[in-house]
Amino acid sequence: MTYNVASQESGSERVAMSLLAAGIMFVAGYTVVRVGFAQATASDPNVQVNVVPHQAELWTGAFSEN
Identity at 34, one-letter amino acid code: R
Q: Which stretches within the chain are classed as H helix?
A: 11-43, 55-58
Evaluate whether 47 touches 41 at the Cβ level (below 8 Å). yes
Q: How many CA atoms lie within 13 A of 41 on its CB side?
A: 7
pLDDT in tens, 20-48: 999 999 999 999 999 888 776 555 567 66
Residue 37 has a pLDDT of 81
Residue 37 phi/psi, 5-degree rounding, is -65, -40
Residue 42 has a pLDDT of 55
Average pLDDT score over the chain? 78
Identity at 39, one-letter amino acid code: Q
- What is the pLDDT confidence band of residue 1, given thresholds at 50, 70 and 90? low
pTM equals: 0.49
